Structure 1
């Protein structure tokens, strides 16, 4: 069974302070966590901005190369955020059956995540994981079915583009439309980290207090970090950097570009129509 992870990393974002923080976080958490799973049956597509700063692009390629798994990782430039589903769909459309899992640039999954997944078509989600204040090294149990990182689509490659366009809150509705079964997989293992930090597009202050005030909260230990493949040395470097890095506060980075993203989506539709017109115009060249 071929499996594809995919990540949309900083598409449409150019702030150098954001990139310094997120590249360090990506290198310490997500990159080592996901590369643990990469092999001849598992790939990772990292989608970046087609106008990404060349220095940042070189740095991303460098740290990917250092993993020793670069042959299983495809860094793919896209025209805009709205273009990402099209690119991934085109890459995977030829597969009769494919598994697809979205991971954000601060996500992590357990070492046995794929081992627990059923090999049947449908949408499978693992509700149990940890909500983690990364900088504070505090974690608590959370139950959140149908997030992106804990949910696996398995089915025809031709449906991938449409699936990727769906927000996680619409997955059940989308599955019902296509008559795909959905299942919440009950396991004693906690298979994902729902990351919380000062640039995690959330009301982080309130979230951090809730984690620290919860009597069930435990220390995010070195053993727990190892279970999710986190690079401890890089993680401590990121924590040190995070002490003085700016916070996005209540601002959602993706929301800043919502109007622009919608305009880009409309332009991509127009480009599709122009492409179809060009194909019609050359359908009978020799008649």
Structure 2
């Protein structure tokens, strides 16, 4: 696990891909799958973590525990540097028997990007790995790992896969409907070299195909059984900003064991969603994540200006002070 500021560098950057470098390197016949979950970067409120851990314990953690293929499969959870001091122990308890490495990220240096690329490069070298993004309140099908390995391009080390068919689950009434959303963030996966890593968090998820193809990679939309479930609840970021969006889908009868859930898990999720305090309705359609990203962009610009050639030491200090003031704004959103 990275400690201190060394693991908190600014890592959102334009990557220059050298075509002659992209050669598929694997550990035997298995490409490692790295599952990354962003849990509250830019959030320090303890109540946030109380609620999200209650969801995580009965949702994604159960899916991870139920995966049928676990060889060379790793789970990383990224939290904020200001998260409660005991968050690592609380996460370990909430996700057991699954295991995960917890990264603490400092948005002043890394923005909202959850991936510690240096640590993954040190762990996997120039081996090709698959990095997948999934939220803490989403679910994965038990066969996801084998499916993503099957559909990533074996002949090209840079490739992206999206499973467009999914399920929307509304926790208030436990109604599940089918949905088709290609290049959704849920279960979005990118295969690249760990030493020049490209992740699903490096670009807007809806632009992934264009982003990957522009760099000479393959982008594939897979039609299959639903590989992911997205949960809608009043305290979710998208729901607060835009309202529920699953109207019109076909209601389904779901075998929740395929996603690792029991009837007790479903009951606990519904209860958690009913007890959370929601925010007042917003006068705009921007999610908290979008607003935080806008602030992070300003912080990054101020930090860059403070380091520019020709800027006096006094002006540089003032720019850094402005950036730190914006950081406090970030935590208030």
TM range (shorter): 0.7 to 0.9
Counterparts in 2 of 1:172 and 1:271: CA distance versus 1, 3 Å: farther
Displacement of 1:126 in angstroms is 1.3
Deviation at 1:198, TM superposition (A): 0.7
Q: What's 1:175 paired with?
A: 212
CA deviation string 1:66-99 (max 9, x = no partner): 31x32xx211111118356484322233232111
Alignment partners' CA distance in 1, 2:287 and 2:177: 24
SS at structure 1 position matched to 2:207: helix
Offset from partner CA, 1:149-195 (integer Å, 9 cap, x none) = 232211222443465321102212211221101111122x1111122
Asked if residue 111 in structure 1 is aligned to residue 142 in structure 2, the reply is yes
Shift of 1:143: 0.6
Aligned to 1:254: 289
CA contact under 8 A between 1:101 and 1:148: conserved in structure 2? no
* 1:205 shift after superposition: 9.8
- Indicate conservation of the 8 Å contact 2:163/2:223, yes or no: yes
Question: SS state of the match for residue 76, structure 2?
Answer: strand
1:218 to partner: Cα distance: 3.2
Mark the CA change 1:245 to 1:209 in structure 2 (over 3 Å): closer, same or farther: same
Q: Does 1:32 align with 2:36?
A: no
Query: What TM-score does the superposition give when structure 1 sets the normalisation length?
Result: 0.79
Normalized per residue, which structure has more helix?
Answer: 1
| Counterpart Cα distance in 2 of 1:215 and 1:119 | 29
Give the distance between the partners of 2:221 and 2:45, measured in 1 at CA: 38
Taking structure 2 as the reference length, the TM-score comes to 0.69
Distance 1:266 1:128 in 2: 38
248-257 or 44-53: bigger deviation? 248-257
- 2:26 is aligned to none
Contact 2:152 2:160 in 1 (8 A): no
Counterpart in the other structure of 1:10:
40
Identify which of structures 1 and 2 has the higher relative contact order when contacts are C-alpha pairs closer than 8 Å and 6+ apart: 1
Q: 1:86 to 1:229 in 2, by over 3 A?
A: closer
Summarize the alignment of residues 166-245 of structure 1 with structure 2, pairs less than 5 Å apart.
166-187=203-224, 189-203=225-239, 207-208=243-244, 210-211=246-247, 214=248, 216-218=250-252, 221=254, 224-245=255-276
Q: Is the 8 A contact 2:88 2:102 kept in 1?
A: no
Report Cα offsets for 1:11-52 as digits up to 9, x if no partner.
121233332221111111011112333734100111111121
Instruction: Please tell me whether the aligned partners of residues 132 and 200 of structure 2 are also in contact (alpha carbons under 8 angstroms).
Output: no
Residue in structure 1 matching 2:104, options 77, 86, 99: 77
Q: 1:207 to 1:230 in 2, by over 3 A?
A: farther
Partners of 1:200 and 1:148 lie apart in 2 by 15
Q: In the superposition, relative to structure 1, how do residues 57 and 92 fare at CA in structure 2: closer, same or farther (>3 Å)?
A: closer
Cα distance in 1 for partners of 2:305, 2:193 equals: 27
Q: Distance in 2 between matches of 1:41 and 1:269?
A: 38
Matched position secondary structure for 1:242? helix
Q: CA deviation at 1:264?
A: 4.2
